A and B are shown apart, each in its own frame.
Chain A
Amino acid sequence: MQSAPESPSQAAPSRAIPFYNDPKKRAILFQIVTVLMLGLLAYYLLSNTLANLEKQSIATGIGFLQKEAAFEIGESAIEYSAADTYGRALVVGFLNTLIVSFIGIIITIIMGTVVGIARLSSNWLVSKLAGIYIEVLQDIPVLLQLFFWYAFFYNILPGPRQALSPIMGVFLSNRGLVFAVPAAHPVHKYMAIATLVACVAIYIIRRWARARQARTGQPFPVFRVSLALLIGFPLLTWVLGGAPTAMNVPVFSGFNFKGGRNISPEFTALLLGLILYTAAYVAEVVRAGIQSVNKGQSEAAMSMGLKPGLVLNLVILPQALRVIIPPLTSQMLNLTKNSSLAVAIGYPDFVSVAGTTINQTGQAIEGVALMMIVYLTLSLLTSAFMNWYNKKTKLVER
């Protein structure tokens, strides 16, 4: 039996083998056939679509991106007016999607981790509360939650004339949360640079501290030094820049507040809905990750005299992470994709702006293709980053 040949070509090299018996040739043939079939299908779909569009004399191409959009967008991270192009309007929508997804993902991970750990707490009340939160929010469709939060904001909060003002310069109304911000000053740019420099310095210090601890066993207070750097650098820059204290305070005039920074109820409702919904899933992922670590590990750690906090930080979480990360990635992608539900509650995300563009230009295929490209790119970038991180946290097998 052990001498039996693995493939016919090894068994009888002299005899001509029919191509269908040669696994190599066969594989190539199958691949050619598959590619041909796919190509034929793609050709058929494309030519059919183009023919249909031409027959109905519907405009095609992406020339519309250069045309004047002529519609306003409620909130925008960059300068935008109705006189700008569709292209710029789409960029505004894209940035809005990016902002809500990015902030959403970060808060979701923090909140999900906290709830997940609380679910495993030995405190009966804490664990039950976390359980109820997870079960309830997981089971209600996210669109309903968004409608709920949005209606909650504009129904509960007073109009802008009767806005609540808990602190001076902060106003809460059904137009959103308006608060004072420092008036524009050139020093802000340098403060941003200082923050960046602080980040780089922290990275270097961390590496150095870790190497030193490995070498000499002496610990270094990395966290406190990092915090000091992160606050101290920009603060120092601000003082050196003359310490400008002028504030851009919102003032009610006419219909709405002018000045200050406004966080709209649409944005808040969307962010809150997405975070609360996705965090429930992340909590379950975290719980599963922690439970996947063998109980002996924590017992061993505790028998070495580590405190419960250190046990979690040094022993459990590093091992749990490699179980947590893959499903966590998919939750991050879910949050990004779910942000397209913004269209239902009036937050001008990419889908909302692209939808309006499609309607005004009539170029549905191009518009939908753009949406697909944008979400595909966002998803691929997110998973590429998470895969890289996953590789980093993998157990190094010796």
Chain B
Amino acid sequence: MQMKNWLRGKVAKAAVLIVGVLFLAFCFAGCGDSKKASELESKVAELQKTVSDLEKQNKELEAKKVAVGKTLENVRAKGFIQAGVNGDLFGFGRADDKGVWKGLDVDTARAIAAAVFGDADKVKYTPLTAKTRFTALQSGEIDVLTRNCTQTLGRDTALGLDFCQVNYYDGQGFLIPKKLGVKSAKELDGAAVCVLPGTTTELNVADFFRANGMKMSPVVIENTAELAKAFFAGRCDVLTSDASQLAGTRAVAPNPKDYMILPDIISKEPLAPAVRHGDNQWKDIVNYSVLAMINAEELGITSKNVDKMLKSKDPRVMRFLGVTEGNGKALGLNEKFAYNIVKQVGNYGEVFERNVGVNTALGIERGLNALWTNGGLMYSPPFK
């Protein structure tokens, strides 16, 4: 019995010691074995203060770090860019049957990789739904969001995002089976409308029906492919989304000729890549990667003639391609960043025609997305 009591005392002592040591380790500091509880608690209070002080310091350091470009450092350290893309949208972001990612947004991400690494293939893609995209960016899961995403004031501010140069000017339209015989969106009173949740289009379509005194019953499915399936099966009368997306959806329809896009465009949808708020250097890099593609088209530089253009005597071309140095250093990139983008990805016109242009299944005209010199909105500030 005595033996048992003695053992019990030993075990209890050991347990107290272990918990005490663990607790102190948790407070990031070691200290000698203390035997009194009061002593322990005063130590705890002290350590808590130290922890909060350290945290404050850490926070300050962190804030400073952001200013000098944490994302660029992170991206360089891991050796690739993690880009959030659509995953289901033909022409913008979708893997083909061989698993190769293709699309306008994919090429935008590739341009950024070409600028940062000199290698457009150093991108990994995260397919995101409309509902998960912002959280993925906010939480740092991705470095840049190139996912046909509309720039709005609310997203730019309350969501803590920063939008860069628009890579596609879009507007919301309606896709409808021809057999319904509808000619205008104003005739849609009472229609069942398929729409993706958490999008600007979900709000626009509600606004549009309200403004015109019409009623709608929304069918809201999160997955783009599931939504398209429900529409093709007739669950809803009309599918609404950005006109470019509708063209992409129609392209994969069982019988594309049975569907038409109504002429009404009910909203402005400037689609732009987005980054986290506060990292100005990274924002500049993404911004000027897109602008480089537009500027290249303005200057008449293509992926085919870019090597020849290196010998050009035009000072604008020389500055753009890094023959005259300065632009790269200012961005914290290689002087050849614009050359790499054009060489590996192409200028904006090439990228547009390759992914969504008139010769693709989408067959979209340049329209608003033509250069400003051709009556469009694509306009790049000078690269100097």
Give A contacts to B, CB under 8 Å: 1, 4, 8, 11, 18-21, 26, 29-30, 32-33, 36-37, 40, 44, 47-48, 51, 53, 55-59, 70-74, 81-83, 147, 150-151, 154-155, 159, 174-175, 253-256, 258, 265-266, 343-346, 348, 352, 355-356, 358-364
Contact = CB atoms under 8 A, between A and B. Distances in A.
A51 B261 CA distance: 46
Given A57-B278, A70-B206, A151-B233, 4 more contacts: A55-B62, A55-B278, A57-B277, A256-B191
A70 B138 contact: no
Contacts of A266: 219
B50 interface: no
Contacts of A361: 158
- Considering residues A151, A255, A358, A364, which has the most beta carbons from chain B within 10 angstroms of its beta carbon? A255
Interface stretch (B111-119, B127-135, B329-337): B127-135
Nearest to B221: A346
B138 A58 contact: yes
Interface string B25-42: 011000000010100010
Given A1-B1, A364-B135, A74 B220 contact: yes
Contact of A258 (B180, B190, B233, B278): B190
Interface in B1-59: 1, 5, 9, 12-13, 16, 19-20, 23, 26-27, 35, 37, 41, 44, 48, 51, 55, 59
A362 B159 contact: yes
Contacts of B203: 70-71, 360
DSSP majority for the A interface?
helix
Contact of A56 (B13, B205, B223, B277): B277
B202 A71 contact: yes
B66 A55 contact: yes
Given A36-B44, A59-B158, A159-B234, A82 B210 contact: yes
B375 interface: no
A223 B89 CA distance: 60
A346 B230 contact: yes
A82 B62 contact: no
B69 interface: no
Nearest to B219: A346
B278 A29 contact: no
Interface in B212-241: 216-223, 226, 229-230, 233-235, 237
Contacts of B278: 55-57
B313 to A, nearest CB: 46
Interface string B348-374: 000000000000000000000000000
A176 to B, nearest CB: 10
A19 B51 CA distance: 29
Contact of A362 (B12, B155, B191, B202): B155
A57 to B, nearest CB: 5
Contacts of A254: 189-191
B227 to A, nearest CB: 8
Given A8-B5, A20-B12, A47-B55, A344 B189 contact: no
B190 A71 contact: no
B270 interface: no
A30 B19 CA distance: 8
Contact of A55 (B63, B189, B220, B233): B63
Contacts of A175: 192, 235
A7 to B, nearest CB: 9
9 contacts: A33-B19, A40-B48, A58-B160, A73-B218, A155-B233, A346-B230, A359-B134, A359-B199, A361-B158
